């Protein structure tokens, strides 16, 4: 396409010629109102400050709209392509050492030689093997990517399974009288028993104190409900209000809603269902469509929009995490939920 630059530099001769043509045409039509005007008073565009300002704003706005539309162009997946979408294989989990080194935990490319000795044949990381003196006692961090889970063994023998898009911060070696970790997201713990050294799990405004037990914690920032579920043993859950400390029994689940002063505790008929994720399943019990979509987006490389739903319906069901998006969408349709799936 050819383009021409047009100058706004005034041309008085051309301007007078055009004006005379306008006046003549008006006279032919019987309109004499322009007879007394002998010259067109046109202020060049580049000298009109207000017009220039408006033009600049319009240009910026147009550019912004163009950039937004291009940045948010949806690539919706057709029905035939949904069966080709599985757990996000492109995301990578990572280990951040206290010395500042970041090591990407990508099973497909193999582990970094510096920490490969920590892993076993199942790609689990065993920090009991860590013998680098400069790291001992200092905080390390392990973070899982979307669609990834990870099993790690802490220095005291405690087993931790991290769900997708979750993070744990922990010392390479625990102190003798206290064991403390920080969780963001979801994790299942099988804590090594040590009555002389309480095990503390900190999560935003909550803390779980145990001696040796099996429990699940879930505290994603984007979710209003935070939960602690006890499967075996005993735990004490405390919040910002120390008067609301609760000791849980096996099969009990404590749920704290954002904005609510007191948590609620309920007894689950099947507490094992809470850790279905650890065993490779999605498990939903009386869940709404929005909660299900958030869970799926942590696993599949997509964004999911809800087109139609019956908000009064709650969903209960189980589906394999190895299934494709086609099976997931079919399940949602069974409950009269229509979605659109966008590549992300």
Answer with the one of 277, 311, 334 that is the final residue of a domain: 277
Residue 6 belongs to some domain of the structure: no
Are 146 and 248 part of one and the same domain? yes
Task: Give the model's pLDDT for residue 133.
Answer: 80
Do 109 and 44 share a domain, yes or no? no
pLDDT at res. 225: 93
Same domain, 326 and 256: no
Residue 263 and residue 151 share a domain: yes
Asked, for residue 189, whether it belongs to a domain, the answer is: yes
**CATH code for position 313:** 3.55.50.30
- Domain shared by 152 and 28, yes or no: no
CA distances from 37 to 15, 25, 45, 48 (A): 14, 14, 21, 22
Specify the pTM: 0.77
188 lies in the same domain as 336: no
Q: Measured between alpha carbons, how far is 285 from 155 in angstroms, rounded to an integer? A: 35
Q: How many domains does one find in the chain?
A: 3
**pLDDT < 70 stretches in the chain:** 1-74, 107, 242
Is residue 156 assigned to a domain?
Answer: yes
The CA-atom distances, in angstroms, between 229 and each of 144, 250, 294 are 21, 8, 20
Residues 196 and 175: beta-carbon distance below 8 Å: no
Please indicate, yes or no, whether residues 175 and 324 belong to a single structural domain of this protein.
Answer: no
Alpha carbon distance 23, 292 (integer Å): 71
How much is the pLDDT for 18?
57
Same domain, 104 and 23: no
Are 220 and 331 within one domain? Answer: no
The string of pLDDT tens digits covering residues 269-316 is 999 999 999 999 999 999 999 999 999 999 999 999 999 998 888 899
CA–CA distance, 197 with 192 (Å, rounded to integer): 10
Residues 260 and 295 placed together within one structural domain of the fold:
no
| Domain of 194, in residue numbers | 84-277
pLDDT of amino acid 57: 52
119, 145 contact by CB (below 8 A): no
């Amino acid at each position: 396409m050819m383009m021409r630059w047009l100058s706004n530099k005034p041309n008085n001769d051309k301007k007078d010629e055009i004006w005379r043509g306008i006046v003549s045409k008006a006279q032919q039509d019987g309109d004499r109102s322009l007879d007394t005007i002998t010259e067109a008073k046109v202020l060049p565009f580049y000298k009109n400050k207000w017009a220039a300002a408006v033009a600049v704003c319009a240009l910026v706005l147009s550019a912004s709209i163009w950039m937004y539309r291009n940045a948010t162009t949806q690539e919706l997946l057709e029905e035939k392509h949904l069966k080709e979408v599985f757990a996000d294989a492109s995301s990578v989990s990572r280990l951040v050492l206290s010395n500042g080194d970041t090591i990407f935990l990508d099973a497909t490319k193999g582990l970094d030689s510096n920490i490969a000795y920590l892993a076993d044949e199942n790609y689990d990381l065993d920090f009991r093997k860590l013998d680098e003196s400069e790291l001992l006692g200092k905080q390390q961090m392990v973070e899982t990517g979307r669609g990834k889970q990870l099993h790690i063994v802490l220095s005291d023998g405690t087993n931790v399974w991290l769900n997708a898009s979750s993070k744990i911060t922990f010392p390479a070696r625990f102190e003798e009288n206290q064991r403390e970790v920080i969780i963001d997201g979801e994790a299942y713990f099988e804590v090594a028993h040590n009555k002389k050294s309480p095990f503390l799990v900190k999560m935003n405004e909550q803390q779980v104190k145990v001696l040796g037990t099996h429990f699940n914690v879930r505290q994603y920032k984007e979710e209003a409900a935070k939960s602690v579920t006890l499967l075996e043993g005993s735990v004490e859950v405390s919040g910002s209000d120390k008067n609301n400390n609760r000791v849980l029994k096996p099969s009990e689940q404590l749920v704290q809603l954002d904005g609510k002063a007191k948590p609620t505790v309920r007894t689950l008929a099947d507490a094992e269902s809470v850790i279905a994720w650890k065993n490779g399943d999605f498990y939903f019990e009386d869940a709404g469509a929005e909660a299900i979509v958030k869970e799926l987006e942590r696993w599949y490389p997509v964004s999911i929009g809800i087109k139609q739903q019956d908000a009064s319906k709650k969903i209960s069901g189980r589906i394999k995490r190895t299934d494709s998006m086609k099976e997931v969408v079919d399940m949602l349709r069974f409950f009269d939920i229509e979605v659109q799936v966008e590549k992300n």
